[in-house]
Amino acid sequence: MTLLVTGATGFVMSVVGRHWLDADPNERLVVLDSSPLDAAAQRYFAPVAKRLTVVTADITRPETWRGALAGHGITHIVHGATITPISRGSASEAKREPEAESPARIVDVNVMGTVEALEWARTLPDFKRFIYMSSGAVYKHHGPDRPGEPLPEDGYVMPRRLYGISKLASELITERYGDLFGLSTASVRPSSVYGPMDRVTRSRNMRHPPNRIAHLAVEGVKRVRVNTLDAVGDYIHAEDLARAVVSLLRAARLGYSTYNVAYGTAVSIGDMVAWATEKVPGFGAEVVPPEQADILADPTLRDGMWGAYDTSRIFGDTGWKPRPMREALHAYMDWIAAERTVDLSRETP
C-alpha cells in the first residue's frame, strides 16, 4: 500500500509519514508539500529515503500535482497540509496576531486545500481511507459540563479563530464527501503536539511549553522563566500521535467521524519542569513577571480545549494509547540532544 501525506516536510505530518514507513518495510510514502525537504527533514527521512517520493506543489492548485501523483498507486491519504497562524508562548509573541497577516490565504489553504485533496481521492480506483488532520482548536475554552471529566468529541465545539474555524469546516466537508462518494473518512483532533521535527517552518511558527522546556534544559539553561507553574495542558508526543493515525488507517472499520488523539490528562508546567530536571539535574524554573517570561501561560484556562481530552473512542476502535508523558518528554529530550550533536559536528571545522 502507498500512503500520501500532505504537509509532510513540516512537523507533525513528517512524523506520521516516517512512522508509516518504519512500521512496515513493504510500504511506500508519497509526500505532497509546498516546501521541499529542508536539511532536518532530509536527515529524518534518510533511513527510509528509498521508499519516499516528494512532490513539491501548492495543494490549492491541483494542476501542479495531479500528474506527478499519478502512477503511484496511492491507497490511503492523510491530509495535514495547513497554515497554522498561532503565535503564543512569550510576552513578545502574544502581541502579534498572525491571522491578520494573510486571512484569505489561511482559509484558501486550510479549507479549499481539503476540498482539492478529497476531489482527487474520489477518483482513485483502489482508494481505502482518508484521514483529515484537524485540531483541538475547534473546541470551546470551557467544558465539559461536569468538572474534572475529559473533553469528549461530541459537543463543546465553537472555534473563534480562523485556524479553528477552517479546521471545523474541513472536518464537515470531509465527512460529507465520505457520505456522498462512499469514501471511508475520519478526522483526528490532536491536543497540543510536541516532539521530533518541531521547528520553525514557513507555515508554522509556534512552540508549546514542553518544546520550550525540553530545549532549554538540553541547551544548558539553568532556569526557564515562567509567569506561572500552575498552567496546564494536554500534550501529546508526535510519535504517539503518528501511531494513532496509522492505527486508524489500518483499522478494519471506523465507528466515528472524529477522534480525539491526546495524552488524556492535563499536566502542569511545574510537572514538566520536574520531569526535565530528572534528565538534567540543576535545571529548574523561575517565576517572573509576564513581560519577562520565556513561557507565558494563563493558569485560569484549565478545561475545554486547554484541559484533558477524552480518548476512549480511539482506544475502543484501535486499542491505541499514549506513553506516560514523563517517558515521552524524556525521549524528546534525547532526540534534541542527538540533533544538537549533529549540528555541532557540522559546525566544527
Three cell numbers at 5? 501525506
pLDDT for the residue 70: 95
Closest CA to 296 of 96, 132, 128, 104: 96
- Quick: pLDDT tens for 68-82: 999 999 999 999 999
Q: Quick check: 220 pLDDT over 80? A: yes
Q: Quick check: 56 pLDDT over 60? A: yes
Crossing angle, helix 238-250 and helix 12-23, to 10 degrees?
A: 60
- Alpha-carbon distances, residue 69 vs 88, 120, 197, 293 (angstroms): 36, 10, 25, 46
pLDDT for the residue 301: 94
Least confident of 65-74, 171-180, 203-212: 203-212
Q: Which fold has domain 2-199+235-263+307-324?
A: Rossmann fold (3.40.50)
pLDDT for the residue 202: 73
Looking at per-residue pLDDT, the higher value among 95 and 153 belongs to 153
Least confident of 146-160, 224-238, 333-347: 333-347
Distance CA 2, CA 77 (A): 9
What mean pLDDT do residues 114-120 have? Answer: 98
Q: Quick check: 190 pLDDT over 70? A: yes
Strand pairing category for 74-79 and 52-56: unpaired
Q: Quick check: 282 pLDDT over 60? A: yes
- Quick: pLDDT tens for 8-39: 999 999 999 999 999 999 999 999 999 999 99
Tell me the pLDDT of the chain averaged across its residues: 94
Instruction: Please check whether residue 227 is in contact with residue 288, taking contact to mean a CB–CB distance below 8 angstroms.
Output: yes
Distance CA 213, CA 294 (A): 9
Query: What pairs with residue 5 in β-bridges?
Result: 31, 78
The torsion of the CA quartet 125, 128, 130, 131, rounded to 10 degrees, works out to -160
pLDDT for the residue 88: 52
The residue type at 243: R
Instruction: Please check whether residue 295 is in contact with residue 228, taking contact to mean a CB–CB distance below 8 angstroms.
Output: no
Q: Quick check: 123 pLDDT over 60? A: yes
Looking at per-residue pLDDT, the higher value among 258 and 87 belongs to 258
Closest CA to 192 of 92, 266, 298, 296: 266
pLDDT for the residue 206: 74
Instruction: Please check whether residue 17 is in contact with residue 7, taking contact to mean a CB–CB distance below 8 angstroms.
Output: no
What mean pLDDT do residues 276-302 have? Answer: 96
Distance CA 298, CA 118 (A): 38
Instruction: Please check whether residue 28 is in contact with residue 2, taking contact to mean a CB–CB distance below 8 angstroms.
Output: yes
pLDDT for the residue 203: 65
Q: What three-state secondary structure class fits 189?
A: strand
pLDDT for the residue 87: 56
What is the pTM assigned to this prediction? Answer: 0.94
What mean pLDDT do residues 282-288 have? Answer: 98
Per residue in 170-197, is it b (16+ CB within 10 Å) or e — as a string?
bbebbbebbeeeebbbbbbbbbbbbbbb
Per residue in 332-349, is it b (16+ CB within 10 Å) or e — as a string?
bbebbeebeeeeeeeeee
- Quick: pLDDT tens for 294-340: 999 999 999 999 999 999 999 999 999 999 999 999 999 999 999 99
What mean pLDDT do residues 146-152 have? Answer: 92
Q: Quick check: 349 pLDDT over 60? A: no
What mean pLDDT do residues 112-120 have? Answer: 98
Angle at 41 (CA atoms; ends 39, 42), nearest 5 degrees = 65
- The runs of H, that is alpha helices, within the chain are 12-23, 39-45, 66-69, 91-94, 103-107, 113-121, 162-181, 209-218, 238-250, 269-279, 312-318, 325-347
Q: Quick check: 280 pLDDT over 80? A: yes
What mean pLDDT do residues 102-111 have? Answer: 95
Backbone angles phi, psi at 262, to 5 degrees: -160, 170
Percent of the chain surpassing pLDDT 90? 87
| Ramachandran category for residue 65: left, alpha or beta (phi over 0 → left; psi -120 to 50 → alpha) | alpha
pLDDT for the residue 97: 75
Instruction: Please check whether residue 195 is in contact with residue 237, taking contact to mean a CB–CB distance below 8 angstroms.
Output: yes
